[in-house]
Amino acid sequence: MPALLIKGDEVANKVRSEISAELKDLYEKTDRVPGLAVVIVGEHPASLSFVINKEKQSKKLGFYSEIHRLSAEASHEDILTVIQQLNGDDNIHGIMVQLPLPEKINEKAILDAIDPDKDVEGVHPINMGKLFSDEKGFLPCTAYSIMQMIEFPRQPVFGKSAVLISRSNIVGKPLSLLLLRRNASVTVCHSQTKDLADICREADILVTAAGKPELVKGDWVKPGAMVIDVGMTQVGDKLVGDVVFEEAKEIAGWISPVPGGVGPITITTLMKNTLEAFKKKLEI
Ligand code: NAD
């Protein structure tokens, strides 16, 4: 029997309706809404369309939202000034900086300047540290979104063997910690891992974010396993995942498609984190 699909839209819809219900309740109690600010530098068309989409979605959910557009010539100090102003703005609870920033800008220094209590992308070292030490902080959006996909079919994660093809700061490292919190046994693989196919064959949960089109063949998948494909590579006019979907879907128990997998959830996760930041500010 072919695998059941874990569709990003379905997961995102569930999270959005939870956010809406909570927001309505908080608005009735406080007469206030969460605010999200997005900072974009330069005119990169794909980045601009991501930012506009984020604003559209946040307004649709009832958030206050603003976009700060700076020219590609903006200096490091110009961007820092905007971040500092947003850090001090009581109507803004979450700040996200659209990446990539122009090459001359020190990206890490800009991200580190965001108030950790407004770091709704979960990329500030303080929030990374909290994740590492099991304290409450903002979880990195992509890893948190993947975790929501894994938990969507309500299958136990406890005691499962999870294999991650990624050791990146936004996927493999944070996701390994989130899975450990759920008592999975985690193996983190990367470009230098030997016998990758054999390791994957042992996985009850296989997550890949290598960005290598069709790296994972059908015979790498354990029968009945959950396969989450985070990889997205533009090949000609198509977006291609890391998994040979047509082969893997015949063997896996659950599988996420590309496109239509984790992508739609990440914006919703950003809203979820912004709502958490708002609640923290209200001390609710
Ligand atoms: P990255 O380059 O930082 O990390 C890639 C990881 O894959 C590294 O740990 C590397 O060691 C590993 N890797 C590469 N080739 C490999 C191979 N042949 N075998 C085993 N491991 C290998 O990339 P990233 O920023 O984490 O993104 C990875 C992919 O995930 C990209 O396709 C990106 O588009 C996608 N992505 C999607 C979303 C989303 O929202 N859908 C978000 C983030 C990243």
pLDDT, mean of each 10-residue run, the chain (284 residues)? 94 96 95 96 87 89 95 96 98 96 95 98 97 96 98 96 97 98 98 98 98 98 98 94 98 97 93 97 84
Q: Indicate if 47 belongs to the active site.
A: yes
Q: Indicate if 54 belongs to the active site.
A: yes
- Does the C-beta of 165 come closer than 6 Å to ligand 1? yes
Of the candidates 178, 172, 183, which has an alpha carbon nearest to the alpha carbon of residue 207? 172
Distance 172 CA to ligand 1 centre (A): 9
pLDDT at residue 1, rounded to an integer = 77
In a domain, 48, yes or no: yes
Residues 253 and 206 in one domain: yes
CATH of the domain at 227: 3.40.50.720
Pairing type for strands 161-165 and 205-208 reads parallel
Domain that holds residue 43: 30-115
Number of domains in the chain: 2
Q: Indicate if 58 belongs to the active site.
A: no
Residues 163 and 240 in one domain: yes
Distance 209 CA to ligand 1 centre (A): 4
Which atom of ligand 1 is found nearest the CA of 142?
42
In a domain, 221, yes or no: yes
Residues 85 and 48 in one domain: yes
In a domain, 220, yes or no: yes
pLDDT at residue 198, rounded to an integer = 98
Residues 155 and 259 in one domain: yes
- Does the C-beta of 167 come closer than 6 Å to ligand 1? yes
The Cβ of residue 204 has, within 10 Å, a number of other Cβ atoms equal to: 19
- Structural domain ending residue among the three candidates 45, 80, 115: 115
Q: For the chain, percent helix, then strand, then coil, each to nearest 5?
A: 45, 15, 40
pLDDT at residue 46, rounded to an integer = 83
Of the candidates 247, 219, 216, which has an alpha carbon nearest to the alpha carbon of residue 230? 216
Spatial distance between the Cα atoms of 214 and 238, rounded to a whole number of angstroms: 13
CATH of the domain at 68: 3.40.50.10860
pLDDT at residue 219, rounded to an integer = 98
Residues 172 and 98 in one domain: no
Residues 109 and 206 in one domain: no
Residues 159 and 258 in one domain: yes
In a domain, 11, yes or no: no
Residues 151 and 246 in one domain: yes
In a domain, 55, yes or no: yes
In a domain, 124, yes or no: no
- Does the C-beta of 187 come closer than 6 Å to ligand 1? no
Sheet holding 226-229, edge to edge: 4-5, 254-255, 226-229, 205-208, 161-165, 185-189
- Does the C-beta of 75 come closer than 6 Å to ligand 1? no
pLDDT at residue 228, rounded to an integer = 98
In a domain, 7, yes or no: no
Specify the pTM.
0.95
Residues 146 and 44 in one domain: no
Atom 35 in ligand 1: residue holding the nearest Cα: 231
Residues 144 and 259 in one domain: yes
Residues 146 and 258 in one domain: yes
